[in-house]
Structure 1
Amino acid sequence: MSSLLLAIVGAGKADSLMQLAKESGSSGGTILRGRGTASSSLLCLLGLGDADKEVLLTLVDDGVEQTVWDALSRFPHTRGLLASVPASRNEDHPVVKEHAFDLVYMICASGFADDIMAAARKAGAGGGTIIEGRGTATSEDIAFFSASLVPEKEMLIILLPHTERDAVLEAVSKLPFLQEEGSGIAFSVPVQKVATLR
């Protein structure tokens, strides 16, 4: 089995974390750019507020997961969030059966993630991270000078206590702009452990 380690840190910090992860046994990873959405000064102080962010994703085998986790969670030069999720969907896995936190992912058209975050916040979420992206080309995409114009997307990631997940997903699903088919998708994964980086 393996785990996906996800670290959300300030811009310019993920490369150092990735180097540390490699030195501790990770074979590599991916760094994505995003921005934070937290509204409280406490979350800003923790490095999770409205600011440019980087999201580090690294897949590690269970044999080195604890070593990589320990190295990343003790990294002294950054603030942020570190989470570990099981990389396989095994219903018998103890994390899937009983867990305290979920990572909720919401993918929507560009420009709507802040509205989704506002609805999620009203339902109990504290803050999240928005990552920009784009859709994949389909036959319905607009042809423009022999190239396809694909829709811009945003992905909102929110760490929630498991007990609040359903209320947040329910509140978001009622937003008028998400009533159209294909306007967005939301899913969650159980978190096996979480730590703040300071």
Structure 2
Amino acid sequence: MNLEIYCAIVNEGLGNKVLKILKEQGVNGATIFKGKGTVHDKISTFFALDDVRKEIVISGCDEETGDKAFLEVCNRLKLDKPKRGICFSITLEAIIGSNFYDSSRKINVKEEDNMENKLIVVIVERGNGEAVVDAALKAGATGATIVNARGSGIHETQKVFNIEIEPEKEIVLLLVESENTDTITDEIRKELRIDEPGRGIIFILDVHKTFGLYKGE
């Protein structure tokens, strides 16, 4: 059995509709996050997002069920049209802590070569997300989604009136062509000084499949 994590990024207000479609198709669990989409005005984007509020729906399930369900999401919400959103999946080795899947099951992890797209995930202090987007656009990225979060770590606390608090974080999601990944990542590292302690973290994931991917002219 192959497990995938599926992500749908849609306009605000459509997250619950995505959940309803997924449930109809046999996907029994999903989570909605709030985010903001940004895109360079002059460049068509893989995400097909502009500067509007977004909802990110994430679910983990088996590949057969997930592919069918998210294709249905894309068809019903017309995600192949510009500025509607996007769905993509990433192969998982396991799902732990889910009521729907036994983590002791044997999982077949497929080796995929020549992935066309990568997902760059950048976690920075709140307020720096736009700087990440600016750096990415400068290096050739075409769009991004910013999600608010909280983080804690050895270098991640600040003192206010001598009391340590966990700062707010922003997560920036960038879906990019594989060949542009290094250029975009290097620019973000340089502009945000990511290599300095406490400045943030970047990780890169292979995107297994995309659904409803709009490529404008």
Equivalent residues, number: 195
User: What does residue 81 of structure 1 align with?
Assistant: 86
Distance in 1 separating the partners of 2:211 and 2:29: 21
Is this contact kept in 2: 1:74–1:197, CA < 8 A? no
User: What does residue 115 of structure 1 align with?
Assistant: 131
Amino acid at match of 1:25: G
- Which has the larger displacement, 127-136 or 76-85? 76-85
More helix by share: 1
Shift of 1:88: 2.3
User: What does residue 12 of structure 1 align with?
Assistant: 13
Amino acid at match of 2:30: G
Is this contact kept in 2: 1:39–1:50, CA < 8 A? no
- Distance change >3 Å, CA 155–CA 23, structure 1 → 2: same
Distance in 2 separating the partners of 1:139 and 1:124: 31
User: What does residue 183 of structure 1 align with?
Assistant: 199
Of the three residues 149, 161, 167, the one matched with 1:151 is 167
- Distance change >3 Å, CA 174–CA 15, structure 1 → 2: same
- Distance change >3 Å, CA 26–CA 175, structure 1 → 2: same
Distance in 2 separating the partners of 1:126 and 1:142: 33
Distance in 1 separating the partners of 2:123 and 2:44: 23
- Distance change >3 Å, CA 109–CA 75, structure 1 → 2: same
Shift of 1:179: 4.3
- Distance change >3 Å, CA 139–CA 113, structure 1 → 2: closer
Unaligned runs of 5+ in 1: none
State the TM-score, normalizing by the size of structure 1.
Answer: 0.86
Distance in 1 separating the partners of 2:156 and 2:187: 30
Is this contact kept in 1: 2:88–2:210, CA < 8 A? yes
Distance in 1 separating the partners of 2:153 and 2:133: 27
Q: Secondary structure at the match of 2:124?
A: strand
State the Cα deviation string for residues 108-158 of structure 1 (Å, max 9, x = none): 01111111111111111001000001113769846879x862111000001
Is this contact kept in 1: 2:71–2:211, CA < 8 A? no
User: What does residue 34 of structure 2 align with?
Assistant: 33
Is this contact kept in 2: 1:84–1:191, CA < 8 A? yes
RMSD: 2.8
Is this contact kept in 1: 2:43–2:142, CA < 8 A? no
User: What does residue 93 of structure 1 align with?
Assistant: 110
Distance in 2 separating the partners of 1:138 and 1:171: 25
Q: Secondary structure at the match of 1:94?
A: coil
State the Cα deviation string for residues 170-197 of structure 1 (Å, max 9, x = none): 1111125434212100111111111337
